[in-house]
Chain A
Amino acid sequence: MIVIRPTKGWASLRLRELWAYRELILFLVWRDLKVRYKQTVLGAAWAVIQPLAMALLFTIIFVQFAGLPTGGAPPFLFYYTAMLPWNLFAKGLTEGSNSLVANQRMITKIYFPRLVLPISTVLAGLVDFGIGLAVLVGLLAYFGVWPTLAVASLPVFIPIAILSSMGIAFWLSAIDARYRDVRYTLPFITQIWFFATVAVPISSVPESLRWIYSLNPMAGVVEGFRWALLGQEWRLDPLVWLSMAIVVVIFVGGLFYFRRAERVFADVV
């Protein structure tokens, strides 16, 4: 029996119901993938071209002109390795934050757990990520870089990148449903964030400021990726764990905030 009554305060997460709708998540991911590269000439090749071009650009600007350190790794790889989790994060963040408004019709006409929308949007980014990862394997071979045992830690960093993206998307999509300011703010915040995360490695930050740097939830993931894939003589900065703790806080807080905001989505979106 379904009982409908007003809810007060913080609502339960109802994860069981979310689980019951897992097929819908998969269908929405599949829909996003199906339509993503429609009406493009190059199709999924964009998933490869874009990070390659960015990595090349960074190599030229930051290494050749600005002389930023890359910790002994080939500069191109250094940036490409960071682009991978960043793109997963940034796309998920941008599209996830927009996911409620983009699916306005569904929200106002049909009941389903609303968390399905940001979750599936972020997950859809995994396919591009997978393609990028396959290209990376080729690049590693080309540059003759052989990962150490640390590569086994990748399966930890990938979910962290996803959690971080989802966590922020929960917050921002719920706010965006009511205040469209989010969509105007997000592009430039993402850009600044990008430079702070990808271009400036933690090793180039003065010791005393590193804890501030580690408050960036993506700092740990990007550092972790570089360490896992390129780090021969690299030491994983322990502050990475602080960064990951932040991710968990944002994610769990986002879940609860979203559920609390959810009850008025259909009225305000």
Chain B
Amino acid sequence: MENVAVRVQNLGKRYRIGEQEPYRTLRDAIARAATAPFRRTRPRRADDSRYLAISSHGGHIWALRNVSLEVMNGEAVGIIGPNGAGKTTLLKILSRITEPTEGQAEIRGRLGSLLEIGTGFHQELTGRENIYLNGAILGMKKKEIESKFHDIVAFAEISDFIDTPVKWYSDGMRLRLGFAIAAHLEPEVLLVDEVLAVGDASFQRKCLGKMGEVAGEGRTVILVSHDMAAIQNLCGRAYALNHGRILASGEVNGVISQYLESVSRPQVASIADRTDRRGNGRLRLVGFSILGAANSSDTVQCGARATFEIAYEGSAPLRNVDIDMLFYNQFGTCVLVTGSSFVGKVFAEVPERGIFSCRFEKFPLLPGIYHLRLNCGVNGIVADDLKNAATIHVVGGDYYGSGKIPGRGGGLFAVPHEWEVRNEDSGSFTRRGHGT
């Protein structure tokens, strides 16, 4: 029992609908107070502070309900789930920013929470001054900050700008500084929310490294993220939340695939109805789906087997048919062109109706959202060309089978490659013409 660092039992948080609207009028509260003696039916609840204006028709929403979880000492646990699943609410309760409506949680040890990087930075103050201020806000003593000051500056890589007001900092510098301070808080239990979604790739890698270090030192980490790769990299166990409830829990890869299955959406707009197509129409593309490891219609895992299927209809059996499938990233850049003709398949004869299928043994694109363009030709003439025929989500996966999840350090693809080292004198290396 002493090994449990965080124990959450039946935690629930209820919001009134509209409670987070910033402006409520005093008028409502006064009107309510004035009529209060005439209303007896409404039972008072624990969280009905006197000044909460409750409209009689006001509904409630449970942002979190019946959530129980346990995290052991020194364990790194991930929490995944779609937007609005209650992930952040859970972290806010655990970090005591807001109170639960029911249930309870116990946390053993010093708690550090990182819901946002650089909270409380003041633009007019210098980096040095903000280190002290932010450290104090996070609960560090002045002495403690002093002793870690140099480590923080070194980690953030801002030593040249330490006496410059933060308002002149780039976003990246501000992030690095904010993370550096929080990372040096040395909590026994660290709560991290989605902070890695920002910042450049090398910074993200550094943060992950630091968190891995924290976890490796036997401290406890709870990480909330949309980023499956980050969760897979850092955490051994995960919980999936949806609609405020725990959907799945256990070993991280199992939870991720369960989660992906549950949230996958069926392909809504059928491409059969699309009219914005080009081509002579001798053949029409009418359906698209993915058969893959993630087993959902629009999600593919990097490094996993994936089969894309495209259904078509023609007016009659056709000759000399080929099909291309192009992948565009979110910035509209075409990052991958695949085509049956590239791999030597111009289909000599195809039936009137059928399905083209394209199989990847190991899907090479790194995590992200991609749009597909499908282009089918008959006798070398475009028969049907559909832009944005489908949108797919690629999630992180262990492409190389090495336990590392590619995608954090930038780049577009994972491709098979090998590294070796051999014994050779650099002099002969240069003589052979490899040197400068």
Number of interface residues of A (CB under 8 A): 39
Q: Tell yes or no: A43 within 8 A of B by CB.
A: no
- Which residues between 104 and 129 of chain B lie within 8 Å of chain A, taking CB atoms? 104-108, 111, 113, 115-116, 119-120, 122, 124-125, 129
Nearest-Cβ distance from residue A249 to partner chain B, whole angstroms: 19
B105 vs chain A, min Cβ distance (A): 4
Q: How far is the CA of A194 from the CA of B19 in the complex (A)?
A: 36
Give the CA-CA distance A178 to B103 in the complex, in Å: 26
Assess whether A3 is in contact with B106, with CB atoms less than 8 Å apart. yes
Query: Which residues of the partner chain A approach B99 to less than 8 Å between Cβ atoms?
Result: 4, 6-7, 263-264
Given known A6-B47, A24-B137, A27-B132, contact A179–B25 (CB-CB < 8 A): yes
Are A4 and B141 closer than 8 Å at their CB atoms?
no
Cβ B47 vs Cβ A35 within 8 A? no
Contact B29 A6 (CB under 8 A): no
Q: Which residues of B contact A267 (CB under 8 A)?
A: 15, 19-20, 98
Measured between alpha carbons, how far is A1 from B6 in the docked complex, in Å?
A: 10
Verify B51–A109 contact, CB threshold 8 A: no
Residues of chain B contacted by A106 (CB below 8 angstroms) = 119-120, 137
Find out whether the CB atom of B125 lies under 8 angstroms from the CB atom of A110.
no
How many angstroms from the CA of A218 to the CA of B47 in the assembled complex?
A: 35
Q: Is the CB of A109 within 8 A of B115?
A: yes
- Asked whether B102 is an interface residue with its Cβ less than 8 Å from the other chain, the reply is yes
Q: Which residue of A lies closest to B107 (CB)?
A: A2
Inter-chain contact B141/A178, CB cutoff 8 Å: no
How many A-B residue pairs lie within 8 Å, measured between CB atoms? 122
A264 touches B92 (CB 8 A): no
Q: Once the chains are docked, how many angstroms separate the CA of A260 from the CA of B99?
A: 12
Within the complex, the shortest CB–CB distance from A171 to chain B, in Å, comes to: 11
CB A80 to nearest CB in B, in angstroms, measures: 31
Bound-state CA distance A180–B107 (Å) is: 35
B269 within 8 A of A: no
Contact mask for chain A residues 175-208; partner B; CB cutoff 8 A; 1 contact, 0 none:
1001111000000000000000000000000000
Q: How far is the CA of A108 from the CA of B49 in the complex (A)?
A: 19
- The yes or no answer to A261 lying at the interface (CB within 8 A) is yes
A35 and B133 alpha carbons, distance in the complex (Å):
13
| Set of chain A residues within 8 Å of B138, measured between Cβ atoms | 110
Closest to A27 in B: B136
Cα A268 to Cα B98 with chains together (Å) = 10
A263 CA to B97 CA, complexed, in Å:
8
**Are B111 and A35 in contact (CB-based, < 8 A)?**
no
Chain A CB within 8 A of B148 CB: no
Contact B102 A6 (CB under 8 A): yes
- The smallest C-beta distance from A31 to any residue of chain B, in angstroms, reads 6
Interface residues of A in 128-142 (CB under 8 A from B): none
How many B residues touch A, CB cutoff 8 Å?
49
Quote the shortest CB–CB distance from B102 to chain A (angstroms).
6
A35 touches B125 (CB 8 A): yes
B304 to chain A, nearest CB (A): 37
Contact residues, A211-268 vs B (CB, 8 A): 260-261, 263-264, 266-268
- CB <8 Å contact, B104 and A5: yes
B139 to chain A, nearest CB (A): 7
Q: How far is the CA of A261 from the CA of B107 in the complex (A)?
A: 24
Q: Is the CB of B49 within 8 A of A105?
A: no
**Is A65 an interface residue, CB under 8 A from the partner?**
no
- Report Cα–Cα, A268/B24, bound state, in Å: 9
Given the known A-B contacts A24-B137, A34-B124, A181-B26, are A4 and B47 also in contact in the complex, defined by CB atoms under 8 Å? no
Nearest chain-A residue to B116 (Cβ)?
A109
**Contact between B107 and A4 (Cβ–Cβ < 8 Å)?**
yes
Residue in A closest to B92 when the chains form the complex, CB atoms: A266
Q: Does B52 sit at the interface, judged by CB under 8 A? A: yes
B357 interface residue (CB < 8 Å to A): no
Q: Say yes or no: B141 contacts A266, CB within 8 Å.
A: no
Name the A residues within 8 Å of B125 (CB-CB): 31, 34-35
A-B contact pairs, 22 of them (CB 8 A): A1-B107, A1-B108, A3-B104, A3-B106, A5-B100, A6-B100, A21-B139, A27-B136, A31-B133, A34-B129, A106-B137, A110-B95, A110-B119, A112-B139, A175-B51, A179-B23, A179-B29, A180-B23, A260-B49, A264-B47, A264-B52, A264-B99
Known: A3-B104, A110-B119, A268-B24. 16 other contacts (CB 8 A): A1-B107, A2-B96, A2-B107, A2-B111, A4-B99, A4-B105, A4-B107, A5-B103, A6-B102, A21-B139, A23-B136, A24-B136, A27-B133, A28-B133, A34-B124, A109-B119
Top 5 nearest A-B pairs (CB, nearest first) are A5-B104, A111-B96, A27-B136, A4-B105, A266-B98
